[in-house]
Structure 1
Amino acid sequence: MANLRKKLPPLTALTAFEAAARHASFTRAATELGVTQAAVSRQIHLLEEDFGFPLFHRLHRRIELTEKGRLLFSAAGDAFSLIADAVADLRADGPDDELAISATISFAHFWLMPRIAAFSRAHPEIKLRIITQDARIGTEGGDIDLSLRYGMGTWPDGQAVFLFEDEVFPICSPDYMQTRGPILSPADLVDQPLISSDADDPTWTGWEEWLAAFSVKAPKKSRGLRCSFYTEVIYAAMNGQGIALGWSRLVSDLIQQGRLVRLTDASIRTRAAYFVVIPARRPVKESARLFIEWLGSEHASGEPFVRNA
């Protein structure tokens, strides 16, 4: 064992390297690990000094693994997965059947939490743990049983099962609509304060893309509020700050409650969709299987979309 330890690099540095390689980003690795970007960069620099060769090509605004870096990433990923599987098996032997589900803040806040009580009533024996974070949480560590994600369905850490698509249209508060007069077409929106969010996800539809779908050019300098998270966008719209883009799956309850209203008949279909991701290299827990079935039943009972674009 002593000889083995001498052959291995420091675990902290190896963990930082694996996260950076998986995300292709020091910044995203730092977010996942809960440390600074400088700390991740320092650990990888120490690792490269220990090996005597670079593990990454530092390019303009991005990084790429070197050939030796790819070999180490493959080995580290396999090793971490084996450890995660063993830990998951040990935890599964415990008395509580806890089901850990990860989701983005907006999906958890506006779709999952208003509905999940129905699942708990049907399966009171299952203990739920909801983990919300906009930065994607990987399933390799063994802490996540299922991950609810929005994207193209191509993630390397698990099998993506399609849930549903979405459509996007402009929304605002009832008071805002009454005070600003009729807004009947996408062209009527450009002079309004348009609320937006700083989304890192390239599949997330912004105002420029949405207006372009109707041959309308977005204003160069919008008077609208800019927020960090989509949840803030929705609350700003409900409080009369302006007009936001509403994802039907996320805002349908708020529209039914009269807290938001839809503007114009125009909408676009999203390029991406919602998926539930099942971790790779691990058997599906019975509680996870029941939750996936429940997700399917919730989708089946949902309102059909009306496509206008």
Structure 2
Amino acid sequence: MKSLRSQLPPLTALTVFEAASRFSSFTRAAEELGVTQAAVSRQIHLLEEDFGFPLFTRLHRQVILTDKGKALSAAASDAFNLLAEAVTDLRRDASSDELTISATIAFSHFWLMPRISEFSRHYPYINLRIVTQDNMPNLQRGEVDVAIRFGNGMWPDGHAEPLFEDEVFPICSPEYAGTDGRIKTPADLTSYSLISNETDDPMWTGWNEWLSSFSIVVPKKTRGLRCSFYTEAIYAALNGQGIALGWTHLVEDLLRQGRLVRLTDAAIKPRGAYFVVVPTRQRSKEAANLFVKWLQIVSQEPK
């Protein structure tokens, strides 16, 4: 059986050929490689001798790939790109032990940050960087290693694994719950101050959708506070400003601590769920794999 090396043409010549075919120019290839045009011509000639057929058609001021040259160019380009990606990933792993995690402001604030110290205790050598923003970063840009997202799990820039679904129900502070009498049904809520937040996410459940799911006509004018972010709405509820919608996994700690109370058993399931997402076009860091496994275990722990 022939060795792999014996089946390949001279690698130096192949490197020169890849540059020349990409630029369709010996001169520009020489500039990129830091050699003379004569050196490029010599390497291409050696390669053509090795194959036994021409790879370029030489014209007066340009070179054009032959059909066989085009086939070799495509193969060489794919091979060099694959090798470059692997080298980049290996260098990134060797030079950096930082793991960048993206999450929404609410998820990071109420769920991730109270638990992330457990991951650090297990893997103290991994430096964490948390990027909190409600606009989803594109994972293909290489700026984020792992993202936690809410949605349908279909994102073109990454592979998604489910974490958990959620429920949405009305919550408020214990003090506010005892001010105006007992709330027994969803319809009773319209008489109270309802705290909402602005969002562009079509899968986010607001008061109109929540009340409508119980066939309750939402009054045109309702009392309440409107906030820019969900975190602000929750803090307004904590401070007795009114009633907000609680998402199970975002407010579970506050409910357990008694800082918020659930007002009714009525709840709805939003259309989306939480997912952990990793880029699809690059090799995952080992730290990212460890974080995903930890996240999947923690997310299934009983509340």
Deviation, 1:83, is 9.3
The structure-2 alpha-carbon separation of the partners of 1:101 and 1:83, relative to structure 1 and needing over 3 Å to count, comes to: farther
Q: Which amino acid is 2:94 matched to?
A: D
- 8 Å contact from structure 2 (residues 173, 259) kept in 1: yes
CA-to-partner distance for each residue in 1:83-103, whole Å, 9 max, x for gaps? Answer: 998765543230x31111000
Q: Which amino acid is 1:117 matched to?
A: S
Q: Which amino acid is 1:91 matched to?
A: R
SS across alignment from 1:296: helix
| TM-score, scaled to structure 2 | 0.71
SS across alignment from 1:156: coil
Structure 1 segment 122-271 matched on structure 2, within 5 A: 122-271=122-271
2:272 corresponds to: 272
SS across alignment from 2:234: helix
Please give the alpha-carbon distance, in whole angstroms, between the structure 2 residues aligned to 1:192 and 1:164. 31
Please give the alpha-carbon distance, in whole angstroms, between the structure 1 residues aligned to 2:192 and 2:89. 51
Please give the alpha-carbon distance, in whole angstroms, between the structure 2 residues aligned to 1:197 and 1:83. 45
Q: Which amino acid is 2:110 matched to?
A: F
Please give the alpha-carbon distance, in whole angstroms, between the structure 1 residues aligned to 2:87 and 2:233. 41
The structure-2 alpha-carbon separation of the partners of 1:83 and 1:260, relative to structure 1 and needing over 3 Å to count, comes to: farther
- Higher-Rg structure is 2
SS across alignment from 1:179: coil
1:290 corresponds to: 290
SS across alignment from 2:293: helix
Q: Which amino acid is 1:109 matched to?
A: H
Deviation, 1:300, is 2.1
Deviation, 1:270, is 1.6
1:300 corresponds to: 300
Identity rate of aligned residues, in percent? Answer: 58
Please give the alpha-carbon distance, in whole angstroms, between the structure 1 residues aligned to 2:242 and 2:178. 12
SS across alignment from 1:166: coil
Please give the alpha-carbon distance, in whole angstroms, between the structure 1 residues aligned to 2:125 and 2:119. 11
The structure-2 alpha-carbon separation of the partners of 1:142 and 1:85, relative to structure 1 and needing over 3 Å to count, comes to: farther
| TM-score, scaled to structure 1 | 0.69
Q: Which amino acid is 2:93 matched to?
A: A
Which stretches in structure 2 are left out of the alignment for 5+ residues?
Answer: 1-18, 24-82
2:94 corresponds to: 93
Deviation, 1:301, is 1.1
Give the aligned length: 225
1:72 corresponds to: none
- 8 Å contact from structure 2 (residues 100, 144) kept in 1: yes
CA-to-partner distance for each residue in 1:58-84, whole Å, 9 max, x for gaps? Answer: xxxxxxxxxxxxxxxxxxxxxxxx999
- 8 Å contact from structure 2 (residues 99, 287) kept in 1: yes
CA-to-partner distance for each residue in 1:185-210, whole Å, 9 max, x for gaps? Answer: 10000111111011100000011110
Deviation, 1:223, is 1.3
Q: Which amino acid is 2:149 matched to?
A: R
The structure-2 alpha-carbon separation of the partners of 1:172 and 1:85, relative to structure 1 and needing over 3 Å to count, comes to: farther
1:21 corresponds to: none
Please give the alpha-carbon distance, in whole angstroms, between the structure 1 residues aligned to 2:241 and 2:86. 48
Please give the alpha-carbon distance, in whole angstroms, between the structure 2 residues aligned to 1:85 and 1:154. 26
Please give the alpha-carbon distance, in whole angstroms, between the structure 1 residues aligned to 2:85 and 2:203. 30
Structure 1 segment 10-29 matched on structure 2, within 5 A: none
Please give the alpha-carbon distance, in whole angstroms, between the structure 2 residues aligned to 1:103 and 1:83. 30
